[in-house]
Structure 1
Amino acid sequence: MGLVSVARLHVRVEGIVQGVGFRPFVHALATEYRLAGFVGNDTGGVFVEVEGDGQTLAAFVADLSRRAPVLAQVERVTTETLAPIGQPGFVIVTSVTGAGRDVLISPDTATCPDCLEELADPADRRYGYPFTNCTNCGPRFTIVMDVPYDRRTTTMAEFPLCPDCAAEYADPTNRRFHAEPVCCPACGPTLRLVTAAGEPVHGQPLDAAVRWLRAGRIVAVKGLGGYHLAVRADDERAVSALRARKRREEKPFAVLAADLPAARTLVDVAPAAVPVLTGVRRPVVLLPRRPDAPVAASVAPDNRDLGVMLPYTPLHQLLIGRLGMPIVLTSGNISDEPIAHRDDDARARLAGIADGFLTHDRRIHVRTDDSVVRVFRGRELPVRRSRGYVPAPVTVPWRFDRPVLACGAELKNTFCLAKGRRAFVSHHIGDLENYETLCAFTDGIEHFGRLFDVRPQVVAHDLHPEYLSTKYALQRDDVELVGVQHHHAHIAACLADNGVPGPVIGVAFDGLGFGADGTIWGGELLVADLVGFERVGHLDAVPMPGGPAAIREPWRMAAAYLDEVYGDALPELPLLRRHERRWPAVVSLARSGLNSPRTSSAGRLFDAVSAILGLRDRVTYEGQAAVALEQRADPTERGGYPVEVSGPVPLAGVGRQLVRYVVDDLLAGVDRGRIAARFHHGLADAVVRAAAAVRVRTGLTDVALSGGVFQNVLLLERVVGGLEAAAFRPLVHSRVPPNDGGVSLGQAVVAAARQRPDLAG
């Protein structure tokens, strides 16, 4: 019998390996293999020293990735051979702090099945406890103040463990072994219900909150990343009251359903949407609303879709379970403000909206809104990337040789800090239009920089001089500044999302962005890589009469387009009659060029057609007119307007042609749903033909689709299908939104690539 060869390895595991039960997993794995050594956290991830025979060590190292905990994301495992020391047993050691952090923090995750089972078991000590969690679920990013990820660096440090929880925490066989947020009714956060004036409500807080909701009252509920406003989804009076108090006139509300069967009573859930709805991230998923859905009309006015999510905390599970009906669950704020997450701020800002507060004493360190996604061809199409996704990095195939901060756009702002091959795209910050949101932006940059040890040497920003994100960048004098054109950033974000360096044909359709020539772009055809771009085509540039007023009142864009197409020979249209008194002044303003910047925006073209069809003359939130046009399109109509795409500037003239076709059909009495569908299909077909024209000149076959207009899945499906039929490879978003929430990622990769000529196509 041969001698067993004993070896010792130092193993480093990088990725999302803290706060997900990785150390207990390593302990159990080493015990299973009868190996000696230790495991711990440090500022770079997880370190292991392990001793045993060589064959067993190889199997152990392979299993670190293959059998990792469900929430872990192992990016890299490296090993170094050491001299054996004959250490007995295997232990978890104290975490190590020090300079140079490279650790990843897990996003907040939905309650796991084991915890749900305890929550519902009257014999369990955590029965009905709204803060139950373990290594497989619960709060993470929103409670983390610093790294390494230990209880002392989270807001749970304020809750000393009781003997029972301490025993679980120290027991290697328990799933709460080193679960940092572990707690129970004896030692954890406490729930309470108070009135808007701050007076305690007598009785069991959950039961009282359920009674209030049943009675049609509005309750502010403290969740993982901030406060929500909750109300019965089937109560028209209550939902209307919430709209009035929140000053959110028409933008759809999200609805919380108890489980998948309950969600199916509200929306049609395609098979591809099931894992998105029920997975650990639990975003709001936009799905087709059932005609018999038991929700008030005011929940999502004039919208065929409904945003639905399932409970992701024990508190939500208990609340919706006891209530027995869906509830509206919308961000706790007044329209356009960031979500309230501090208790004092919530009381100050929401007291005029909520009748009471279902709150608790666990601090939220980072405010984080709910994420919102659509499902396109079996994959997620992010609309808002936040809770459940952040701060997991977007990894890219190219290195950021110097640390980068990208400041993002003005609307739907995110920032991005990047180093190595990781881009840390922030949670949704919002529109940088007020002091509170700007503070969230600057505080977030500081927090991410500390967590991920990113000290920017390069700061990327939009070219628009009036964006607050641009002004913030320009105030920094200790870095190299890199300006990135808005639509190039969109296409670069799509390239990074897909791990493709380019060059590609880029189609960037959005509301607006500052163009390289000083005009307003938004319907762009680019030839682009990560370093630069050439503008090879664009939609018609038409005036925006009144500037920002033309965004709030889409009928102004309709007037501008109709004047461009017909001049003084404008046919008699219902739109003209509706605005007969103001029409001459708006047309005169457009012709004069005063306060009427010209724009090639695809979003403004959608606005114009929406107004011509009488769908939206005015909007109360960004993109509303375009959403109405998509919603109105007849799904049975497959034809599209046969616009011509020719000449030296592909897409030029397309907008005018589409408007003329729309008007002709409207005057002929064609159903507006069919017109809306034909418009979508005509524009999509024009995009495909324009890409084909660029391919003749360049030979490129990859087409990147980005910009907020490509959240429109009707348009996206027709474009993608047409490109595939024409032998192109379409690239669409799946990790960051196509809207301005993805711009910061694009800015970051452009800034990095400009320092690496090898990435130029």
Structure 2
Amino acid sequence: MTAPVRLRVRVDGIVQGVGFRPFVYTVATERGISGFVGNDAAGVFLEIEGGTEALAGFLADLRGRAPVLAQVDRIDTERLAPTGEAGFRIVASTHGTGRAALISPDTTTCAECLAELRNPWDRRFGYPFVNCVNCGPRFTIVTDVPYDRAATTMAAFEMCLDCAAEYADPTDRRFHAEPVCCPSCGPTVSYAERDGRPEPGDPIGRAVRRLREGAVLAVKGLGGYHLAVVADCEPAVATLRRRKQREEKPFAVLVADLAAARGLVEVPAAAVPVLAGTARPVVLLPRRTGALIAESVAPGNRDLGVMLPYTPLHHLLAARLGRPLVLTSGNVSDEPIAFDDADATARLPGIADGFLRHDRRIHVRTDDSVVRVFRGRPMPIRRSRGYVPAPVSVGWEFDRPVLACGAELKNTFCLGKGRRAFVSHHIGDLENVETFQAYRDGIEHFCRLFDVRPRVVAYDLHPDYLSTRYALDRGDVELVGVQHHHAHVASCLVDNGHTGPAIGVAFDGTGFGTDGTLWGGELFVADLAGYERIGHLAPVPLPGGSAAIRQPWRMAAAYLDIVYGGDLPDLAVRRRHERDWDSVVALGRRGVNAPRTSSAGRLFDAVSAILGLRDTVTYEGQAAIALEQAVDPTEQGGYPVPQDPGEPLRSTGFDLVRSVVEDVRAGVDTGRVAARFHHGLADAVVGAAAGVSERTGLTDVALSGGVFQNVVLLDAVVTGLEREGLRPLVHSRVPPNDGGISLGQAAVAAHAEPV
């Protein structure tokens, strides 16, 4: 028999709150290994003693048999002198000084807990907070690390004897499950009408009855309050729209299970693991013809955002209702989602007829995530609940801790430490005091959780962004300004494990350029340290500044004036705005309140208005979305766009607008025109990238910016690049829109020369 060996072991990754300690206990017991395991602020620590073969197998099991929610990034070992210790135990957590422990995202209810929820003989039958080490709340209830019950909002609930016995039993799947609870000792659900007084009886049953009556309810979930109505009742959905002041932006729909989802949308095989996985985002999928859903849920949209239940409360509500349910953020448009009970009571009675709430406090406001599936891979549109705060691994070491402050719209922030980038949950548009306070609170919380004291702070060059002002107001740090579209391209490179150089295409609404104009249709050669602007769409006026973003017909006027001057053909878009047309054109010509922009998003706006799809918008990107939705999928042609090798992309917008007008005047169907526009723009991008590739030898092309959420354009560009022998890089871990900007900023700051 070989002499025993003792090792000190450090396990790094997502190993707290996922049942890792009980897993270690079980494996150690199986292999006859002695020692102990515990949590601390850096992760999981162990001392193990046994034979060489047993220890080798044990260490292999730490990776190969880890719990489903665990992510083992690194295992370090150190040899110690054997002590002859007998047995294996879980020891109390220690706090220490350096924090490096990772927090698991909130995770959907597991199959075992669902079985208990539905079993009339189980003591947790119908209990809306059933959970175990494999599922349940994590990020939204964590207040500090190490991850123990005392550092969560479950600290307010003392375990009963039965729950305490499960918690202490190494053979139970609730062994050290911090949110463990039951009807005897855990949170409770209540129902109240808008006056706030709880009503006796079955709260979920009461909520179901009110929903069937057409009421709007506020429902408290994992990361905040939702507003809910039955999705197949047009008057109820219309009431919600009117009260929420959300005129046309699509709502998400919750359905009970995958079969119910397939009744509303087409669910390709690649979408199933996203829709039914542990994160449970809203997934944008093609709506079925004849789907029983109110038209105003997603007016004029071929796609529908669908999600499956991700908490026991949602499972109970969806099953008992038996109908699809609109579930949208609990706020008035442009406000942050309500997550505090007092705040919800103050803000939502003007919208909600009743409240289905619970008494487990939410520590971090967290919106639902939104995902599209592109060529079999998820493409985040909004990365939040279910994904955050899992870090994005990077291929270098942050020499100094970095805070990247993000952009103004769809804001996220990012902390860089070690070989990880912690991209925050979706904060929203930094356009009001409440959202800005949530932004500041979020940064403080992340810095505390991950023990980051930023020495470098990266920010967008736009001087009026609140995120930029926040950065510039911080003292004792090195400041790094990052150009908006360089951050987009850098984000895409990091998303794909690439450091560059590569060809970068950044298409979005607008971003502050270094030449005093607003960029947004950019062709770069870039790496994480810098970029060269190789080409761009020709700048056009933005008549009226931000008014042109809200009124896309103004962009049509700007483009048409440049293309046709005084010889503008008779077009419906001009007739619709005859009274204001000449004054808007004059603004553009004089350059008064009309900054110049190379934005691809504004080109989409112009074409959308010319086609009569959207003259005004009620939410960002609406005109471009309408243009994408209008595409006739049977049309394969594209408008020709000649390329100038010296100034690639420059004439693209003008050439496309001229072709669109010619087809409109010829009476060509709108769907065919929309398709030809998309294909023509895609061909122009591919041709420009191919030209740069010939000159530089680069073959990787990073596609980023909100315009590349458009899967018609994205698919055509990717297909064209592959045909040219180039390798397209697209987003799959962070959004291509401004929600991914902070990751790019952090990467650029990490590679900037120290001041």
Q: Normalized against structure 2, the TM-score is what?
A: 1.00
The residue that corresponds to 1:257 in the other structure is 255
Q: Deviating runs (4+, > 4 A) in structure 1?
A: none
Q: C-alpha offsets along residues 532-564 of structure 1, whole Å, 9 cap, x if unaligned?
A: 111010011100110000000000000000000
Letter of the structure 2 residue corresponding to residue 376 of structure 1? F
SS in 2 for 1:94: coil
Q: CA deviation at 1:647?
A: 3.9
CA contact (8 A) 2:645 2:691 kept: no
The residue that corresponds to 1:732 in the other structure is 730
> Which of 223, 226, 241 pairs up with 2:224?
226
The residue that corresponds to 1:408 in the other structure is 406
Q: CA deviation at 1:588?
A: 1.0
Q: Pairwise mapping of residues 112-261 of structure 1 onto structure 2 (< 5 A)?
A: 112-261=110-259
Q: CA deviation at 1:756?
A: 7.9
The residue that corresponds to 1:528 in the other structure is 526
Q: Does 1:643 align with 2:647?
A: no
Q: Does 1:301 align with 2:299?
A: yes
The residue that corresponds to 1:652 in the other structure is 650
SS in 2 for 1:141: coil
SS in 1 for 2:578: coil
Structure-2 separation of matches of 1:499 and 1:513: 25
Q: CA deviation at 1:54?
A: 0.5
SS in 2 for 1:84: coil
Q: Which moved more, 1:197-206 or 1:62-71?
A: 197-206
Structure-1 separation of matches of 2:379 and 2:738: 14
Structure-1 separation of matches of 2:78 and 2:753: 33
Q: CA deviation at 1:582?
A: 1.0
SS in 2 for 1:531: coil
Structure-2 separation of matches of 1:29 and 1:55: 14
Structure-1 separation of matches of 2:448 and 2:596: 43
Structure-1 separation of matches of 2:650 and 2:515: 17
Q: C-alpha offsets along residues 20-43 of structure 1, whole Å, 9 cap, x if unaligned?
A: 000000000001101111100011
CA contact (8 A) 2:130 2:312 kept: yes
Q: C-alpha offsets along residues 612-641 of structure 1, whole Å, 9 cap, x if unaligned?
A: 000000000000000000000001111111
Structure-1 separation of matches of 2:702 and 2:516: 24
> Which of 66, 69, 72 pairs up with 2:67?
69
Structure-1 separation of matches of 2:429 and 2:525: 29
Structure-1 separation of matches of 2:615 and 2:575: 12
Q: C-alpha offsets along residues 510-550 of structure 1, whole Å, 9 cap, x if unaligned?
A: 00000011210000001100001110100111001100000
The residue that corresponds to 1:6 in the other structure is 4
SS in 2 for 1:673: helix
Q: C-alpha offsets along residues 34-86 of structure 1, whole Å, 9 cap, x if unaligned?
A: 11111000111111111110111001001100100000011001111111111
Q: Pairwise mapping of residues 530-545 of structure 1 onto structure 2 (< 5 A)?
A: 530-545=528-543
Structure-2 separation of matches of 1:616 and 1:540: 23
Letter of the structure 2 residue corresponding to residue 60 of structure 1? F
The residue that corresponds to 1:746 in the other structure is 744
SS in 1 for 2:280: coil
CA contact (8 A) 2:631 2:674 kept: yes
Structure-2 separation of matches of 1:732 and 1:295: 32
CA contact (8 A) 2:255 2:309 kept: yes
The residue that corresponds to 2:20 in the other structure is 22
Structure-2 separation of matches of 1:544 and 1:392: 39
Structure-1 separation of matches of 2:697 and 2:154: 57
> Which of 705, 713, 725 pairs up with 1:707?
705
Structure-1 separation of matches of 2:496 and 2:40: 31
Letter of the structure 1 residue corresponding to residue 8 of structure 2? H
Structure-2 separation of matches of 1:75 and 1:201: 49
The residue that corresponds to 2:680 in the other structure is 682
Letter of the structure 1 residue corresponding to residue 399 of structure 2? D
Q: C-alpha offsets along residues 127-175 of structure 1, whole Å, 9 cap, x if unaligned?
A: 0000000000000000000000000000000000000000000000000
The residue that corresponds to 2:579 in the other structure is 581
Q: Pairwise mapping of residues 221-370 of structure 1 onto structure 2 (< 5 A)?
A: 221-370=219-368
SS in 1 for 2:416: strand
The runs of 5 or more residues in structure 1 that have no matched partner are: none
Q: Give the share of equivalent positions with the same residue, in percent.
A: 73
Structure-1 separation of matches of 2:232 and 2:538: 45
> Which of 495, 498, 504 pairs up with 1:497?
495
Structure-1 separation of matches of 2:735 and 2:345: 32
Q: CA deviation at 1:202?
A: 2.8
Q: CA deviation at 1:291?
A: 1.3
Q: CA deviation at 1:4?
A: 2.5
Structure-2 separation of matches of 1:283 and 1:411: 20
Q: CA deviation at 1:755?
A: 3.4
Letter of the structure 1 residue corresponding to residue 121 of structure 2? A
Letter of the structure 1 residue corresponding to residue 523 of structure 2? L
Q: CA deviation at 1:478?
A: 1.1
Structure-1 separation of matches of 2:177 and 2:706: 40
Q: How many residues align?
A: 755
Structure-2 separation of matches of 1:674 and 1:251: 25
> Which of 41, 51, 54 pairs up with 2:52?
54
Q: Does 1:85 align with 2:79?
A: no
Q: C-alpha offsets along residues 265-290 of structure 1, whole Å, 9 cap, x if unaligned?
A: 01000100000000000000000001
Structure-2 separation of matches of 1:439 and 1:125: 42
Structure-1 separation of matches of 2:227 and 2:428: 18
Q: Which moved more, 1:198-207 or 1:502-511?
A: 198-207
SS in 2 for 1:285: strand
Letter of the structure 2 residue corresponding to residue 403 of structure 1? P
Structure-2 separation of matches of 1:234 and 1:756: 58
Structure-2 separation of matches of 1:648 and 1:202: 74
Structure-2 separation of matches of 1:349 and 1:653: 49
Q: Pairwise mapping of residues 94-113 of structure 1 onto structure 2 (< 5 A)?
A: 94-113=92-111
Q: Normalized against structure 1, the TM-score is what?
A: 0.99
Q: CA deviation at 1:314?
A: 0.1
Structure-1 separation of matches of 2:698 and 2:277: 38
Letter of the structure 1 residue corresponding to residue 335 of structure 2? E
Q: Does 1:417 align with 2:415?
A: yes
The residue that corresponds to 1:380 in the other structure is 378
CA contact (8 A) 2:189 2:358 kept: yes
SS in 2 for 1:581: helix
Structure-2 separation of matches of 1:737 and 1:669: 38
Structure-1 separation of matches of 2:233 and 2:374: 32
The residue that corresponds to 2:476 in the other structure is 478
The residue that corresponds to 2:609 in the other structure is 611
Q: C-alpha offsets along residues 641-679 of structure 1, whole Å, 9 cap, x if unaligned?
A: 111111411000000000000000111111000000000
Letter of the structure 2 residue corresponding to residue 251 of structure 1? K
SS in 2 for 1:437: helix
The residue that corresponds to 2:506 in the other structure is 508
Q: CA deviation at 1:305?
A: 0.2
Letter of the structure 1 residue corresponding to residue 40 of structure 2? D
Q: CA deviation at 1:431?
A: 0.3
Q: C-alpha offsets along residues 398-420 of structure 1, whole Å, 9 cap, x if unaligned?
A: 11100000000000000001110
Structure-2 separation of matches of 1:35 and 1:527: 55
RMSD: 0.8
Structure-2 separation of matches of 1:48 and 1:264: 47
Q: Does 1:438 align with 2:436?
A: yes
